Amino acid sequence: MGYLLGQTLGIAAVGFVLWMTGASWLRAQPRLPLPEPRWAGCLLLGALAWTGYLFLLGTLGLLGPTGVLAGLALVGCARILTGRREAAPAVPGADARLAPGAGGAERVAASLFALLVGALFALLLLVAANPSPAWDAQAYHLTVPKLWLAAGRLVRVPLNVYSVWPLNFQLLYAGAMAASGATLATLLHWGVALLLVVFLWRAAGGVLGGAVAAGLLLANEVVLFEARAAYADLALALACLVAFLLLERALAGEISARAFLPAGVALGWAAGAKATGFLLAGTLGLFALGLALRRAGPKRAFVAVGLGLVLPVALLLTPWLVRSALLTGNPFYPFLYSWFGGPEWSAALGDRLVAWQRGIGMGRGLLDYLLLPWRVIVAGGEGYARFDGRLGPLWLLAVPGALAAARRRPRVARPLAAAALLFALWAAGPQQLRFLIPALPLFALAAGRAVAATSGRLRGSHRRLLAWGLVALLGGTLWFASGRERERALRIGPPLLARGAAVRELAVPPLFRRADALLPADARLLLLNTNQAYYCPRPCLADSFYEASQIAFLLAGADTPEAAARRLGELGITHLVVDPVPRGALYPPGLQALAAGAPPAVAMPEIDGGGPWRLYALR
């Protein structure tokens, strides 16, 4: 119990530090526009400030616990210097002014649903506190920050394409890991999910509309999975939602670059959070330009969007592009290889990567695109052929309902149009469901506002019936959507509560624990059919993408085990860690033979222990 309590206090402390950083900034610049509620906006300001600070530390080679402690000292000094200044009063946004009143029954129903949401987040916190990271977290979300902290700087990890991509949120992971470790970093993404619900509830207008928006977002297995995993898609979704709310505020007043600047900063952070963030920022920028052209002339609209949105996005993304160019020679590595080149890559690998991404989903024909909205809700499931994730069935009611309400309600039509643009972008790219997460809060916002507008026109028993009916429907859907997380909590909860911090040892693969004790100090491992490198105690290489295997590219032509061993020796590889489950990598025959134990590979059962992974030494 003490371990779980400590992790809860840890994420609360992280939230307090971010809030204090943002509040100090706000007191120094009291006119900064923030999304409502104000305290949550301060958290975002703090995250923005710490992202920049941690990037600076990583560039200067000072990334580590000492640098984080110095940042805390700076925050404390800033708080003291700005503590006596009066912050500007919160300016109610359009959502708060236009929110319809709520009756007693509506408030009671929404309050009960809020308790259910709170219980769900407590459950997710228990699951997230399990120190066994999810797949991509071990591949790069946590592994790359761990290696940054070990080196003290933002290094490039060989064969790890992700390590040179824009990684704003991984910088915050690095800060959390410097303070406590991987579990605190995982809880940081849990906190992002909580902030998403807070902003949605407030922006939808009315307690019932807020409950509907929050429930629609949470009633999706893919969202619940990410809320307890150290990924980055929810952080990207939060940046997009906040940018949209700031764009709404800007479009409600005079069209100017100054009005658009806060949204531009949010989109710039999103562009630096993930490789797809740039495309999402561009899509929302086009949405803002279209609305600005309707309210102002082309000249004013283009100047406002260019200076207020495009320029801050470019400025905030440029440091990552410069870093990639310095490390690989290609600012967009590994993309645009034919223009800029880059290490450990080829044009053929680029073609395979594109073919793999376009192969996700149920087809790319005209009929497939027409059926895509239905399929992604009804047919989603495990595996890339089914979008690799599940959405809740309530979207079949929520989206048509929002469409029906959008005709004469711009507050419903705007988020619906922005979400539709993001959906179209997702449909044209890799149709993996978690890449659609940034659009879900906007769809949910449109549905919540539609319900708020509808309930505001009802009176008496009809309004009470709508409130209780919607809450019952949302609660039931949320119960079924969270089934896997409840099962996971029942499985990991008892050992987590009983063993406390010692449960961390259960997360380390036994092979890695024994390898750390028994392998030579200069051992360097190659991981085949797995890239779960977070707990690997020695330097290692692993594929970023199995379908576009860089390992297969580097060993091309190694048709015999001797030739493959010789090539691996040139790369400094001394041992192989092999997962016998194939992942789609087209390894050359010589490497396949080594992975099966052919000489000069020598099995080491005393270390792998006969477990699912095999360890071989290259003699």
How many residues are present in the chain? 619
Share of the chain above pLDDT 70, in %: 96
All residues at 6 or more sequence positions from 558 whose CB lies less than 8 Å from its CB, including other chains = 564, 566, 567, 588, 589, 590, 591
- In this structure, of 98-112, 174-188, 516-530, the range with the lowest mean pLDDT score is 98-112
CA distance linking residue 141 with residue 158, whole number of Å: 15
Residue-level pLDDT at 609: 84
Each residue's pLDDT tens digit, 315-342: 999 999 999 999 999 999 999 999 999 9
pLDDT tens for 400-448 read 999 999 988 999 999 999 999 999 999 999 999 999 999 999 999 999 9
pLDDT given at position 103:
63
- Which structure tokens are listed for 28? 């120094």
Give the pLDDT confidence of 562-618 residue by residue, as tens digits.
999 999 999 999 999 999 999 989 999 999 999 999 999 999 999 988 778 999 999
Tens of pLDDT along 344-402? 999 999 999 999 999 999 999 999 999 999 999 999 999 999 999 999 999 999 999 99
Q: What's the mean pLDDT when you consider all of the chain?
A: 91
CA distance 289 to 302: 7
The region of weakest confidence among 199-208, 497-506, 563-572, 573-582 is 497-506
Average pLDDT over residues 134-139: 90
Residue 139: what residue type?
A
pLDDT above 70 for 88: no
pLDDT at residue 97 above 50? Answer: no
Q: Is 55 left (phi over 0), alpha (psi -120 to 50) or beta?
A: alpha
Cα–Cα distance for residue pair 156/326, rounded to 1 Å:
10
pLDDT in tens, 160-175: 999 999 999 999 999 9
Phi, psi of 32 (to 5 degrees): -65, 125
* Type and span of the H or E element at 271: helix 257-271
Beta bridge partners of 525: 540, 575
Banded pLDDT at 86 (limits 50, 70, 90) = very low
How many distinct helices (H) and strands (E) make up the chain? 30, 5
pLDDT at residue number 197: 96
Look at phi and psi of residue 547 and say left if phi exceeds 0, alpha if psi is from -120 to 50, else beta: alpha
Q: How confident is the model at residue 102 (pLDDT cuts 50, 70, 90)?
A: low
> Over the Cα atoms of the chain, what is R_g?
25
User: Is the per-residue pLDDT at 215 higher than 70?
Assistant: yes
**Rounded to whole angstroms, how far apart are CA atoms 91 and 97?**
10
pLDDT at 343 exceeding the cut of 50: yes
pLDDT of residue 152: 96
Q: Is 189 helix (H, G, I), strand (E, B) or coil?
A: helix
Q: What is the Cα–Cα distance from 617 to 472, expressed in whole angstroms? A: 59
